[in-house]
Amino acid sequence: MVTVKVYRREEGKIAEIEIEGHAGYAPSGQDLVCAGISAVTIGMANAIHQLLGVDPVRRMWKSGFLHFHLPEGITADVEGKIHLLLEAMLLSLRSMEESYGKYIRVIEEMSER
């Protein structure tokens, strides 16, 4: 199962996201759930970089693990746009969870950042 942890700041904005695990829906290379999760999350990180010029801090320690958060020092305007993109990504992940709940779980928690 893929676990998506979304950490929110006190005011409700997403501070960081951690994705870990393998869906196990199908064999490696044929897993549509895993491919969908990857497309949505990596696509969002690429959109933030290409559309807003901000490179989310990403860490991939091993296969099946991705953690990213936003760098310090971005303007409030850009942060608002990033927040909109992150919320859109979260809607897509929640939709996947509704359809494939055996393979993906989305958890929201408060961030300490």
Active site residue 49: no
Q: Name the H helices within the chain.
A: 32-52, 76-99
Active site residue 22: yes
Between the alpha carbon of residue 111 and those of residues 5, 58, 82, the distances in Å are: 10, 17, 17
Question: Which one of 22, 67, 69, 83 is the catalytic residue?
Answer: 22
Q: Determine the Cα–Cα distance for residues 48 and 43; give it in Å rounded to an integer.
A: 9
Which residues are marked as active site? 22, 34
